[in-house]
Amino acid sequence: MIAKLAEFRNLQFISPEYFSLFNFLYILLVVWLVVFAVRYKERVNRTVGSRRVLIGRMLKFNLVVIAVVLPLSILALSRPYLSEGALQFKKGAVEVIFIVDDSVSMWAKDIVPSRLGVSAREIARVYADQILKEGDKASLVIFGKTSLKKLRLSTDFERFYSEILKIGPPESLTGDDHPWDSDIALALTDTYNFLDMQDKRLAYRTRFGKNPPLDFDWETFSWQPDKKSSRIVIFFGDGDYRFDEYTEEKTKQLQASLAEFRRRGLKIYSVGVGTKQGYPVYRVLDDYKRGVDYFEQTEIELKEEGMTRLNRITLNFLSSQTGGSMATIENSTGSAANFLRVAIDGHRELTVTVASEQQKQEFWREFLYAALLIFGLAFLIIFVLSPYL
């Protein structure tokens, strides 16, 4: 009967021959009943005010051992395990898009080595601390006045890590206007567009079993973006974006891009890097040579910019609009590792898999621990606590 019950529960036993020990338990149970009957027959007559215990403490303890502790021990000895076809539950993979502001304000050194350096360090730790696991995908986007996709969603973590190491200010400030603004609306728009294109190509390959031709007309391809709870965005920036100075057109563009994020279920988890005290923007030129790496007009314009400070309000706005949350790093020893771990692991979907013969899970320890626990509790209750109950 026990073997049938185990089979019904998707349990099998490596050493089922130990089930023969249950016959010994039957003998012990019969002996216990005989002892109980003899004790009951030879009990003393009850007198006025006396208490007559039907089953003595030793008989109670022996009954627990025979009926519960020994059966569990035999089951442990038989080494139960989940058989092939049994269900296993585990957390699935995630897709993480890292968006990093690398505009001039992120070069500020109010946090050592710089806001941008701290951001790169935190992303590198996500890889080094194995918050991203095998099967996960990561992507990297950096933005300033323009938006640059450094890596599409990929499981190639070595390439991902090498791109992280490249994050930093340019060698020269001449000939490129990328650092001189932070166009968040553009960055968000480019992000969901390249994700859509990657999803479209995957859908095409799934449907037709091959890659789409280069001149394929995607307008004729019936595809709509899906909400993916396992896909999230991690945003690194200082929040110094001055949304209150946006034009009406720019505000609409930002709102539209956030609406597209909500449509796709893309939550933004913001990590603010910087200090409330701030840093003079023109000081970022200390690492460059005037007349060689930048022009005098550049210094004049940066001095007019004044101070750059961490702005939690704008970062919280980005996250709250998409259902995400925010953390900040406001000193050189701070870290967002726990925040990132919770955010990423919180989007791992629970998957159900079927255990193979090679993946069988033994449960003999659980049966043995249960037997020891019940043995200890029975001894404690019957011999130690019963006089006081």
> Tens digit of pLDDT for each residue in 311-325?
999 999 999 999 999
Q: Are the CB atoms for 13 and 81 separated by under 8 Å?
A: yes
Q: Name the DSSP class of 14.
A: S
pLDDT band with cut points at 50, 70 and 90 for residue 5: very low
For 304-327, b/e burial (b = at least 16 CB within 10 A) is: eeeebbbbbebbbbbbebbebbbb
Peptide bond into 113 cis (omega under 30): yes
Model-level pTM greater than 0.85?
Answer: no
The answer to which of 40-44, 92-96, 220-224 has the lowest mean pLDDT is 40-44
Q: The tokens of 279 are what?
A: 């840093």
pLDDT of 54 reads: 65
Q: The tokens of 259 are what?
A: 């609406």
Q: Is 387 exposed, middle or buried (0-12, 13-18, 19+ CB in 10 A)?
A: exposed
pLDDT of 265 reads: 95
pLDDT of 49 reads: 52
What is the separation, in whole angstroms, between the first and last Cα of the chain?
38
Q: Is the dihedral of CA 134, 188, 191, 224 positive or negative?
A: positive
pLDDT band with cut points at 50, 70 and 90 for residue 91: confident
Predicted confidence (pLDDT) per residue in 346-367, tens digit: 999 876 555 555 556 677 888 8
pLDDT of 8 reads: 43
Q: The tokens of 194 are what?
A: 């390249």
* Cα 75 to Cα 68: distance, rounded to the nearest angstrom: 11
Q: What is the mean pLDDT of residues 237-260?
A: 94
Q: Is the pLDDT of residue 19 over 60?
A: yes
Q: Is the dihedral of CA 306, 311, 314, 318 positive or negative?
A: positive
Phi, psi at 351, each rounded to 5°: -110, 150
pLDDT of 4 reads: 43
Q: Is the pLDDT of residue 3 over 50?
A: no
Domains annotated for the chain, with CATH where assigned, are 2-44+52-85+357-388 (no CATH), 91-188+222-352 (3.40.50.410)
Q: What is the mean pLDDT of residues 57-62?
A: 83
pLDDT of 36 reads: 83
Q: Which long-range contacts (CB under 8 A, 24 or more apart) does 377-382 make?
A: 378/60, 378/61, 378/64, 378/65, 378/69, 379/61, 382/57, 382/60, 382/61, 382/64
pLDDT band with cut points at 50, 70 and 90 for residue 82: low
Per the prediction, the chain carries an average pLDDT of 87
Q: Is the pLDDT of residue 232 over 90?
A: yes
Which residue would you say has higher pLDDT here, 139 or 61?
Answer: 139
pLDDT of 248 reads: 93
Q: What Rg, from alpha-carbon coordinates, does the chain have?
A: 34
Please choose, from the candidates 97, 114, 136, the residue with its C-alpha nearest in 3D space to the C-alpha of residue 270. 97
Q: The tokens of 341 are what?
A: 């771990």
Q: What is the mean pLDDT of residues 78-82?
A: 77
pLDDT of 106 reads: 97
